[in-house]
Structure 1
Amino acid sequence: MTDTLRTLIFENASCRAQMIHLDNAWQNIASHNHHPTPVMTVLGELVAASAMLSASLKFEGSLILQIQGDGPIRLLVAECNSRLGLRATVKLREGAHIPDDASFMDLVNAQGKGLCAIILDPRNRMPGQSPYQGIVPLTGQSVASSLEAYMHSSEQLETKLVLNANARLAAGLMLQQMPLDGGKGAGPNHDPDGWSRLCALAQTLQTDEHLNTDTFELAKRLFWEEAPGVLAERKAHFECTCSREKVGAMLITLGQDELNDALSENPVVEVQCDFCNANYQFTAEDCKTLFEGGEPPASNTLH
């Protein structure tokens, strides 16, 4: 089954698992990001992680993973909304050289100054309300270990992640310890060795098997002795939320003087979406309409 997110529960081990297998959704994202293989591998892993972490959202909105790098990669962004709509982008430093064997550390934390952020952005924020943002120094040798460290230090939530990606597929497995019986202690059937055993099973997962096995079959192979319950199965998809209206609102924040300066050099202001490459064009008349409170024509949008 393609583009599937499967949620499992291991009640006796007080653990929840998320499993994601992306093909069409990841290929759509990759088609808008043409970068060397090591960069695309890291981006695919981050996309898989964003889908699994978003599964626990309790609001309508988006979860955004950001890695601010100090190496050839300046910024990695993967976003998943509450509908499992995914999008992602990469910003490289100008003139960046990416060796074929570049590691995660080489790409984003070469000087030890990288940052890892998780942003929760409700769709209908109250006036003056800002998205929740947690930022920690980037640690770990991979996307998986860096996010594990973030969850431990920022959320106090023990997490085990296995992430893999190539040009066609992205896959992830996430185990998270859950509070014991609402904080009242372990129940009579609690298995004290359950967490460590599940983590050991996750560590047996090989890259090829992970990428080429759907979540249903993989759950059977890894956890057949654990008899997990299935909480949910959902479909992920590529979805960019950019719009001409949002671009217009952004242009208004720049101010009329800055737009007039730009228009004095070019007959149109062009803005390209980082996620889907849609190109939005605003003429001088369009910009004037924006500041008069109107809405410019919707036709000047190129995909």
Structure 2
Amino acid sequence: MSDLFITGILPKSHFRFTLIDCSDICSHLDRIHDLDFRMSNFLSKTMMGAFFLARMVKEDQRISIQWKDEFKHSVLAYSNHIGIMKGVAYPGEFAKGDIRNEFILGSGILKVIRWSPDADPYQSFTTLVEDTFETNLIKYINDSEQQLTMIYMDTQSISFGKIAAKGLFLQALPEATDADRIKIQGFADANLNREIMSNKTIEEICNELPAIFQEEVRVLDKDKPHLICDCSRMKISQVLVSLGEQEVREILTEQGKIEVECEFCKSLYNFKDEDVVKLFPKE
């Protein structure tokens, strides 16, 4: 497997599409977070969802998607327009036979934050319904964008610590007519299924789109997504400073050192007495 994304348009019907394979990224996250497949499935789909939303805008925005159900199970994923991604899941198990073991979300909240370099973060949310992640993401997009959107995702557990994660995002552009929407929806419903998503590479799927939609497909971009965590010793130091010297000193006295683990990438940052002294210099 080799991660890749492809974006393009159906120029005749005025639809845009994004294909992504982020299997390597999701496999790494599955291993470092030690997830069961249910939560690995949700994390993989949330990662793809954040990327799809980021590709919907031209400006340099970073998108985060977080959902939390009534059982406090939660996933948080970030992506920007060029596929710089990170994510974390907080797993839990349901009783045997519970429908949510079949990749159905419980009721709760799905929250999206758009982070722009020159503007305050913009936050929006929708209530979760007891259905798949794809259904809930489409519900959010329909509530906020009012444009016909179709999302097809496939995640599989290949072996221990090895996940296959692929997805296709289709959205009508403002120029699309009702006839365009009905036509593309019909072709998608008739031809796009899990078998196609699971058995073919996204390049092969892209090559089949002209036959599926019976029109020219124009590829605009092709690149590789990357798993990059933006944690740093400086950021952790700022968090410690915000706690105040007294609290930091108390932790240091109790534990002998301060060890902070990044929840996304599991990097460890250690601070000893001499490091704390530098955080709180005497005037």
Match of 1:199 in 2: 185
- Are 1:22 and 2:15 counterparts? no
Distance 2:182 2:115 in 1: 33
- What amino acid is the match of 1:165? T
Are 2:233 and 1:244 equivalent residues in the alignment?
A: yes
Amino acid aligned to 1:115: I
- Rounded Cα–Cα distance in structure 1 between residues aligned with 2:145 and 2:246: 44
Contact 2:103–2:132 under 8 Å retained in 1: no
Q: State the Cα distance separating 1:252 from its structure 2 match.
A: 1.7
Number of equivalent positions: 274
CA distance in 1, matches of 2:23, 2:97: 23
Distance 1:21 1:133 in 2: 27
CA separation of 1:103 and 1:61: change in aligned 2, threshold 3 A? same
Listed as ranges, the matches of 1:266-277 within 5 Å are 266-277=255-266
How far off is 1:205 after superposition? Answer: 2.4
Please tell me the residue identity of whatever aligns with 1:117. Answer: K
Task: Find the aligned partners of 2:225 and 2:181 in 1 and give their Cα distance.
Answer: 28
> Separation in 2 of the partners of 1:228 and 1:258?
59
Q: 1:3 to 1:262 in 2, by over 3 A?
A: same
Preserved contact between residue 115 and residue 135 of structure 1 (Cα < 8 Å): yes
In structure 2, C-alpha distance between the alignment counterparts of 1:196 and 1:257, rounded to whole Å: 64
- The 3 A distance-change label for structure 1 pair 257 and 158 is farther
Question: Are 2:100 and 1:103 equivalent residues in the alignment?
Answer: yes
The equivalent residue for 1:279 is 268
1:4-51 deviations in Å (ceiling 9; x for gaps): 111121223221111112222222222222121111111111112222
- Cα separation, 1, equivalents of 2:188 and 2:51: 18
Structure 1: gaps spanning 5 or more residues? 181-189, 294-303
Which of the numbers 220, 245, 248 marks the counterpart of 2:207?
A: 220
- The structure-2 alpha-carbon separation of the partners of 1:291 and 1:141, relative to structure 1 and needing over 3 Å to count, comes to same
Change in CA separation of 1:143 and 1:242 when aligned onto 2, cut-off 3 Å: same
CA–CA separation in structure 1 for the residues paired with 2:165 and 2:17: 17
1:210 aligns with 2:197: yes
**Superposition map of 1:104-253 within 5 A:** 108-109=105-106, 112=107, 114-122=108-116, 124-125=117-118, 130-139=120-129, 141-167=131-157, 168-180=163-175, 192-203=178-189, 204-224=191-211, 225-253=214-242
Task: Please give the TM-score of this superposition, normalised by the length of structure 2.
Answer: 0.86
SS of 2:147's equivalent in the other structure is coil
Residues 66 and 78, structure 1, Cα contact 8 Å, conserved in 2? yes
Q: For residue 231 of structure 2, give the secondary structure of its aligned residue in structure 1.
A: coil
Shift of 1:196: 2.3
**How far did 1:98 drift?**
6.1
2:14 is aligned with what amino acid? S
User: Residue 196 and residue 221 in structure 1: after superposition, are their counterparts in 2 closer, same or farther (change >3 A)?
Assistant: same
How far the C-alpha of 1:245 sits from its partner, in A, is: 1.1
Partner of 1:141: helix, strand, or coil?
Answer: coil
Post-superposition offset of 1:66: 0.7
Q: Which runs of 5+ in 2 are unaligned?
A: 158-162
Percent same amino acid at aligned positions? 23
Counterpart of 1:58 in 2: which secondary structure? coil
Q: Report the Cα distance in structure 1 between the residues aligned to 2:204 and 2:227, rounded to whole angstroms.
A: 24
When normalised by structure 1's length, the TM-score is 0.81
Give the CA deviation at 1:100.
Answer: 7.9
How far apart, CA to CA, are the structure 1 residues paired with 2:97 and 2:166? 21
